[in-house]
Structure 1
Amino acid sequence: MSLSPNLHLVDNEKMPTEQRVKNLLSRMTIAEKIGQMSQVQSYAGWLTDELAADIKAGKIGSIINEVDLDTVNAMQYVATKESRLGIPLLIGRDVIHGFKTIFPIPLGQAASWQPDLIRQAAHVSALEAATTGVNWTFAPMIDISRDPRWGRIAESFGEDPYLTSVLGVAMSEGYQTEDLANTGAIAACAKHFVGYGAAESGRDYNTTNIPENELRNVYLKPFKALADHGIATFMTAFNDLNGVPASGNDWLTQTVLREEWQYSGMVVSDWDSIKELSVHGFTANDKEAALAGFNAGINMEMASSTYQDHLLTLLSEGKISLAQIDDMVSGILKLKFDLGLFEQPFTNPEQLPELVNPQHLALAKETAIKSCVLLKNQGQTGSKLSQPLLPLSLDKLNSLAVIGPFADDGYEQLGTWIFDGEEQHSQTCLSAIKQLIADTDTDLTLHVAKGVENSRTTSCDGFEQAVNCAAQSDAVVMVLGEESILSGEAHSRSTIDLPGAQEQLIEAISATGKPIVLVIMAGRQLTLGNIIDKVDAILYAWHPGSMGGPAIVDLLFGTAAPSGKLPVTFPRVLGQIPIYYNQKNTGRPVTDASCIHMNDIEARAPQTSLGMTASHLDTHYTPLFPFGFGLSYSTVEYSNLTILTPSVSLGGTVKACVEITNTGSREMEEVVQLYTRDLVASVTRPVKELKAFKTVKLAAKERQTVVFEINTDELAFYNRQMQLVTEAGDFQLWIAGDSASTNYVEFTLTEN
């Protein structure tokens, strides 16, 4: 035990944590308590005399963005050996999808639909971050994201509350392990509480207006799941929600989080978000902002100093109480005890795995493989081929053109929010193809051209070289998309087509008549309607991380088979946004029969002759690709969907099964998805809701029966009185490969 000499008489690690917190709290001055509520920015790599003095004086509870090990250990030495009470520091860092080994962006990881894989990736991220003294990360981001214009959709798990909940819990477990005191475990943080993903127009930090019923039935669900599973911390959002900024919203953090959910963990503000309450126009000055944030139950203020500057005055004025301060500080101290920081505040990297080791890279590659989604691979309208182009065969190719700015760019494939990732650890598509040629000793000739310098390039100067490369080749692999800087925080877009001259480049290459595989690296779903008929295959790779190149090449050449499924809906055109599978039916739902395109309307047609349904006149009502969609190199047939419990009492179990058959000639993995619909309820319900999923491996020609069981509690929703209820009535149920299935069975819930 390495407790501060000042604490050893009153603290013992064998005591219950609550007693340790109480003992320590009783010895703290008010100034030291307020200090614990303050998180400050580091000077990145060195400990200034001023910062050291503040740590020694007990004015700081946490440091953000310091990853130099010697500096972190020096800070912890001052905190634990030189301060009056020896309280260690929380060291926070955004470890969003990797530290040095970078995994696919979270939206890409969500496309794997594999919680175990996401759990493992988060654990590797935690182990690597812990080597620098980091003990707290601000992830997972579990904002429900239905607008791809929003840059931070890249950090999300997509549009669905259930999938986001399952994957968010898995990521949290990977960071925290089964015990926060374990070597290499770091505290996780559920963010952003709440509604941030519904920002108007997809503009970051913008206003959100979400009715309480929708808030509870959709946006709060993942946060409740993580609170129930013991995530260590929550973070409040930047946005105002229904007129009240989230970082000053006592209903959210006190009524819902603390009282209803009984969450006892720590809450931190987002960067400067308490100070920004005054910018919102919610408070008049920093002092009022500090009071609002404090009353909202935010334990720790990130970056800004309104707590440090004003809480003591607010206490003396009687506007806050010492009991409130003690309660807030208790949550911070408890986390530090849970992390084992009082016993081991210093970091010895020799106790942790080597950074970017072969095992970590292998997991990054596997995650990237599972995250890629095959969107097209057959002779569709406009295709030059009658048979699938992928996988490519080295035996049948003499030459291959590799075209695009991301084919050999190790930095851009890493994606957004990778503070500690380094290009030197990336393996690109081009390098992986060259390695494949060397390993197989083939005579494949490569013709390489960028075509455009980067994704935003509007010049066509590089087209001629690219077209010449394509003309000399048997097939073309184009690696296009959007640079990492175009997604992430504050990086929203008003259009989501391929930027720059990339669509024109595709048209130019398509004119050569050569088969084209389009690989897209992006931080969001893009609108692909303008180019989908100009290419023969589309592999959506998101931003795939360090091992994106080898993963993509394994998929292109058939060493691995695609199994990813979309965690978001792909719109046909921008004007469909927001478009998501779990929409409401409306009183006039659109159907194929009632969907009319404006080009088909006769001149001077009567006003009421157009079907009068909820649709656009200038595009089809369906998405380009539905939620849950993804192809593989084999095909799966669903048959004999059966409801095993046509009548179920409330509190019972709904059971259903389906037969799935691999009708192709190679092994595959299929993400089997179960959806339900509550046909009549006291508030309108979505047309479909994901309730369960399983990943099933199928050998060639193999048939399996897949059985699902869900408790009727999974069918609960919030009614008009904001009560969580499960109502008796009739339901529909689908088990399918994506959300667009039309084959369902029915069952009835009955009263007990």
Structure 2
Amino acid sequence: MTDVRRRTVLAAAGGTAIAGKAATIARAQGPPGPADGTGKPPPPPPPGPHEARVQALLGRMTVEEKLGQLQQLAWTGDTGPGGGQTAQAEKAARAGRLGSVLNIYGAKTTNTLQRMAVEKSRLGIPLIFGLDVIHGLWTTFPIPLAQAASFDPAVAERDAEVSAKEARSNGVHWAFSPMMDVTHEPRWGRIAEGNGEDPYLTAVFAAAKTRGYQGDDLRAKDRVAACAKHLVAYGGAEGGRDYNTVDVSEARLRNLYLGPFRAAVDAGVATVMASFNTVSGVPAHGNRHVLTSILKEEWSYDGFVVSDYNGVQEMTVHGYAADRADAGRLALNAGVDMEMASTTIAEYGKRLLRNGQITTARLDDAVARILRLKFRLGLFAHPYADEDAAVTGPTKATRATAREAAARTMVLLTNEKSTLPLDTSTGAIAVVGPFGDSTDLRGSWAGPWVKAFRPVTVLDGVKHAAPRAHVTHAKGVDAAGKDTGGIRKAVAVARAADVAIVVVGEGSTLSGEASVRSDISLPGQQEKLIAAIADSGTPFVVVLLSGRPLTMGGWLHSAAAVLEAWHPGIEGGNAIADVLFGTVNPGGKLPVTFPRAVGQIPIYYNHENTGRPYDPANHYTSKYLDLANGPQFPFGHGLSYTTFDIGAPRLSVSRIRAEALRKGDTIEVAVSVRNTGRRAGDEVVQLYLRDPVASIVQPVRRLCGFRRVGLGTGKSTTVRFRLGAEDLGFWTHDPDGELLVQKGEIQFYAGNSSLAKAERTLTIT
């Protein structure tokens, strides 16, 4: 097929929900001066409803008060480097030299500090209070990775709505969420906080969670400002080690990492957080290319950028900033508007201004962005939380919502001989394993504030679901310990039962920030426990609790069924029982590839092809000598208690001109799905595309649409996807950002995982 794809290039016009244009890559800042862009703020946003008041307030502020607005300090109990800064925050609030405080909550506590700022300072500018509300405040929902497994953005949106109401009533105005770091690294602990390996799936969930937090009006008493984090490429950390280096091309930056951030910006996200890592040698906190050229200029973002904890000061450790003053200069000029925890901008700002190393225009731009959000939140009119209306714990309604959400996130990995669902009339059920009666279900970002509310354990859930059954329990082994002395009792309990439910996995402290594992198999002696239960002769199923994909040994094939339940939140035990006993038919799918062994990492579905792809008949192809080819479970995999037939994709046109796509034309792809089994259930129709010949090698396939649908037995429906240039094209290495749609063929695949086979071809002329 010579010349199937001419190298004639057509740039798609305008922006896209998946990525914005890029700009010239910022080089390491040299001596200050006009040539390095210091002091040049991005163009001002269009005048908003509060702009006159913002500018009037700016005109009254001293330099010290302006610099204070750029400072965020940490409250007592903070667990970051250096601990809390309570006394410092109170003093700065009274002086009008503080913009925000993080890790503070509770209506009475926040009101006390807010009064210091509003009633004691010269200008009475209110503070913004931020908190890591990641997957719930009082009512803990499944971790974000689990939410992505639902392939239902409504799950993330509902979590954010419940979280926002609980947080705002407790004086919190700002959630440091959603995290939208696409990653190919299951060793990385923060994979639990994101949505997995796919940029399209992550973008959809980022927009949904932003809408859930913010609603239509940030002044509402049940809404908070969202924060898109971490800009950018944090999920690409080398070796999966937190905070580590990321070396990324411009094309990879745009096609993989930036899209979810653009989706959040298009959804109106109020703030963006910079990432800890370097981006091709330049720390994100000092990367003007990302924070200003792309985010603020080309995407016309009018919110503000907050640093991560100590991220500005840590540029000195990176070896990018000469000292703390230089770090403040680099961060402000790059586009950081508020500094979290470290104090370089507030401390050295006057000197930097005096020396011409930062400009008044850039300082005013940063302050104005922060003030605009305070007006949008209604803090000038209503700075205090209503202490009588504070939500103090989960309610029956929010627990029901969390239970439904958790059940929708669970993924049935295997189910030999339709072992699941279990019969509630089963005479004797053994629940064994270190997590069988454990309350460690909340996940890595459930803060200390939720300790008063006990999650429903799996044992609790099984007893509630099967009240007539004789339910016994034995721990067997600790979650990560070496002692195997309890296995004998667990085996005895299993032998006395008709079926055993083995609940294993990793504790929540093994995932999340700074929780990286080099070995992602089951910790401790849990595999020995499973082997012993298998030898007991009692049929058993495995419930897997985790904050990441885990590798599985020979035990995988000894279990009759395996259910991935993630860290499911406060109602996790009930939700797991709902799925095990068939009250809920599982419909979740994997948002991330499960490797066979850690040596395969990185392994992900949307990889590029090689010149010698795997071929079992040819020794000289890309493979491992000691491992079967491919993943243990592919992206998008997930079984059901019923069966579905997904038809081949049908295109509204078989040929379309590239010029027409450039001008905004779209195509429709229709996919039919029918429930061919004996139970009602959910299926996720997944649409993938492949661009087989391009001027930049493209992934073997990439997700371009999905829809979760519920169907009764024998029922069918047609799912329709509308695709345009941004879906069919790709971003080049051009630092000015060029989205290309090239002539040639596009192959579409429809099915229920990334291994979908039903195919149709579109020709672009």
**Does the TM-score normalized on the shorter chain lie above 0.5?**
yes
User: Equivalent residue for 1:10?
Assistant: none
Give the C-alpha shift of residue 421 in structure 1.
Answer: 2.2
1:382: which partner in 2?
A: none
Tell me which of the two structures has the higher relative contact order, counting C-alpha pairs closer than 8 angstroms and 6 or more residues apart. 2
Correspondent of 1:408 among 432, 437, 440: 437
Q: Which residue of 1 aligns with 2:633?
A: 625
Give deviations 1:389-424, integer Å, cap 9, x for gaps.
Answer: 1000023x21111001111112x1001011132263
Alignment of 1:658-669 (within 5 A): 658-669=671-682
Q: Is 1:519 the equivalent of 2:540?
A: no
Structure 2: distance between partners of 1:44 and 1:343: 30
Contact 1:417 1:488 in 2 (8 A): yes
Q: How far 1:278 moved relative to its partner?
A: 0.5
1:468, distance to aligned residue in structure 2 (A): 0.5
Verify: 1:449 aligned to 2:474, yes or no: yes
Q: In the alignment, is the contact (CA less than 8 A) between 1:635 and 1:662 conserved in 2?
A: yes
Q: Deviations over 1:135-162 (max 9, x none)?
A: 0111000000111000000000000000
Q: Secondary structure at the match of 1:674?
A: strand
In the other structure, the counterpart of 2:297 is 259
- 1:132-171 aligned at under 5 Å gives the runs 132-171=170-209
Partner of 2:267: 229
The secondary structure found in structure 2 opposite 1:55 is: helix
Q: Which range is displaced more, 82-91 or 64-73?
A: 64-73
Q: Show the counterpart of 1:214.
A: 252
Q: In structure 1, what is the equivalent of residue 36 of structure 2?
A: none
Structure 1: distance between partners of 2:710 and 2:310: 47
Q: How many Å separate the matches in 2 of 1:128 and 1:358?
A: 14
CA positional deviation for 1:446: 1.7
Query: Segments of 4+ in structure 1 off by > 6 A?
Result: 45-49
Contact 1:101 1:425 in 2 (8 A): no
Q: Give me the whole-angstrom Cα distance separating, in 1, the residues matched to 2:331 and 2:324.
A: 10
Confirm whether residue 497 of structure 1 aligns to residue 521 of structure 2: yes
Q: Deviations over 1:339-392 (max 9, x none)?
A: 1100110001544656311111111001100001000001xxxxxxxx211000
2:352 to 310, 314, 325: 314
Do 1:98 and 1:421's aligned partners in 2 also have CA atoms closer than 8 Å? no
| Aligned position for 1:709 | 722
Q: How far apart, in 1, do the equivalents of 2:217 and 2:473 lie?
A: 50
SS of the counterpart of 2:682? strand
Matched with 1:31 is: 64
1:343 is aligned to 381
Q: Which residue of 1 aligns with 2:508?
A: 484
Alpha carbon RMSD of aligned pairs, Å? 1.7
Aligned 8 A contact 2:108 2:387 in 1: no
Partner SS for 1:35: helix
Residue 761 of structure 2 corresponds to residue 746 of structure 1? yes
Distance 1:713 1:173 in 2: 22
Q: Which amino acid aligns with 1:561?
A: N
Letter in 2 for 1:694: R
Q: CA–CA distance in 1 between the matches of 2:292 and 2:650?
A: 45
Q: 2:424 aligns with which of 394, 397, 402?
A: 394
CA 48–417 in structure 1, closer or farther in 2 if over 3 Å, else same: closer
Q: For 2:612, what is the secondary structure of its paired residue? A: coil
Distance 2:330 2:86 in 1: 32
Deviations 1:245-300 (A, max 9, x none): 11111111121112221211100000001110011111121111111111111000
Tell me how far apart the structure 1 counterparts of residues 746 and 94 of structure 2 sit (CA, whole Å).
62
> In the TM superposition, what is the alpha-carbon distance from 1:707 to its structure 2 partner?
3.0
SS at match of 2:603: coil
Tell me, yes or no, if the aligned pair for 1:119 and 1:171 is still in contact at 8 Å: yes
Of 34, 52, 56, the residue aligned with 1:19 is 52
**Is the 2:413–2:561 contact (alpha carbons within 8 Å) kept by the matching residues of 1?**
yes
Distance 1:694 1:15, change over 3 A: closer
The Cα of 1:695 is off from its aligned counterpart by: 1.3
| SS class of match (1:494) | coil
1:647 is matched with which residue?
A: 655
Q: What runs of 5+ residues in structure 2 fail to find an aligned partner?
A: 1-46, 79-83
Q: CA deviation at 1:48?
A: 6.2
The answer (yes or no) to whether the contact 1:184–1:352 under 8 Å persists in 2 is no
* Equivalent residue for 2:212, pick from 162, 174, 188: 174
Q: Using the alignment, how far apart are the partners of 1:552 and 1:302 within structure 2?
A: 39
SS for the counterpart of 1:413 is coil
Do the aligned residues in 1 keep the contact of 2:644 with 2:673 (CA within 8 Å)? yes
Deviations 1:194-247 (A, max 9, x none): 011011110101111111111111111111111122100010011111111111
Identify which range, 257-266 or 324-333, moves more after superposition: 257-266
Q: Which amino acid aligns with 2:108?
A: D
What SS is found at the alignment partner of 1:267? Answer: strand
- Give distance in 1, aligned partners of 2:382 and 2:708: 40
Q: Return the match for 2:455 from 426, 430, 450.
A: 426
Q: Which runs of 5+ in 1 are unaligned?
A: 1-13, 379-386, 597-609
How far, CA to CA, are the matches of 2:168 and 2:423 in structure 1?
43
- Secondary structure, counterpart of 1:465 in structure 2: helix
Q: How many angstroms apart in 2 are the aligned matches of 1:166 and 1:370?
A: 17
How far is 1:728 from its partner? 2.3
For residue 402 of structure 1, what is the amino acid of its counterpart?
A: V
Code of the aligned partner of 2:719:
V
The 1:430–1:654 alpha-carbon spacing in structure 2 relative to 1, beyond 3 Å, is same
Q: 1:673-688, aligned counterparts within 5 Å?
A: 673-688=686-701
Instruction: Give runs of aligned pairs for residues 712-751 of structure 1, distance below 5 A.
Output: 712-721=725-734, 722-750=737-765
CA contact (8 A) 2:133 2:177 kept: yes
Q: Which aligned pairs between 1:72-83 and structure 2 lie closer than 5 A?
A: 72-83=110-121
User: What is the CA–CA distance in structure 2 between the aligned matches of 1:677 and 1:48, rounded to whole Å?
Assistant: 54
The answer (yes or no) to whether the contact 1:718–1:724 under 8 Å persists in 2 is yes
* In 2, Cα distance between equivalents of 1:51 and 1:352: 24
TM-score (norm 2): 0.90
Matched letter for residue 634 of structure 2: P
Q: Which residue of structure 2 lines up, in the alignment, with residue 530 of structure 1?
A: 554
Q: Deviations over 1:611-655 (max 9, x none)?
A: 321222221221111111100100112235433321123323222
Cα pair 1:100 1:422 within 8 Å, conserved: no
Give the paired residue count.
706
Aligned to 2:616: 595
Residue number in structure 2 paired with 1:274: 312
In 2, Cα distance between equivalents of 1:641 and 1:223: 29
Whichever residue aligns with residue 70 of structure 2, its letter is M
Counterparts of 1:642 and 1:255, CA distance in 2: 40
Cα distance between partner residues in 1 of 2:140 and 2:513 = 18
| Residue aligned with 1:686, SS | coil
The answer as to whether partners of 2:190 and 2:513 remain within 8 angstroms in 1 is yes
Shift of 1:302: 0.1
Q: Could you tell me how far 1:181 is from its partner in structure 2? A: 1.2
Q: Distance in 2 between matches of 1:339 and 1:725?
A: 39
Q: What is the alpha-carbon distance in structure 2 between the residues aligned to residue 81 and residue 697 of structure 1?
A: 55
Report if the CA contact (8 A) 2:647-2:750 is conserved: no
Give the Cα separation in 1 of the matches to 2:402 and 2:411.
16
Asked if 2 retains the 8 angstrom alpha-carbon contact of 1:73 and 1:133, the reply is yes
Distance 1:28 1:737, change over 3 A: same
Give the partner amino acid of 1:513.
Answer: G
2:441 alignment partner, SS class? helix
Which one-letter code corresponds to 1:388 in the other structure?
A: S
Deviation, 1:44, is: 5.0
Write out per-residue CA displacement over residues 664-704 of structure 1, whole angstroms, 9 at most, x where no aligned residue: 11101111011111122111111111111111111112233
Task: Decide whether the 8 Å contact of 1:232 with 1:265 is kept in 2.
Answer: yes
Q: Quick one: distance in 2 between partners of 1:304 and 1:73? A: 24
- Counterparts of 1:550 and 1:644 in 2: how far apart (Å)? 44
CA distance in 2, matches of 1:47, 1:85: 23
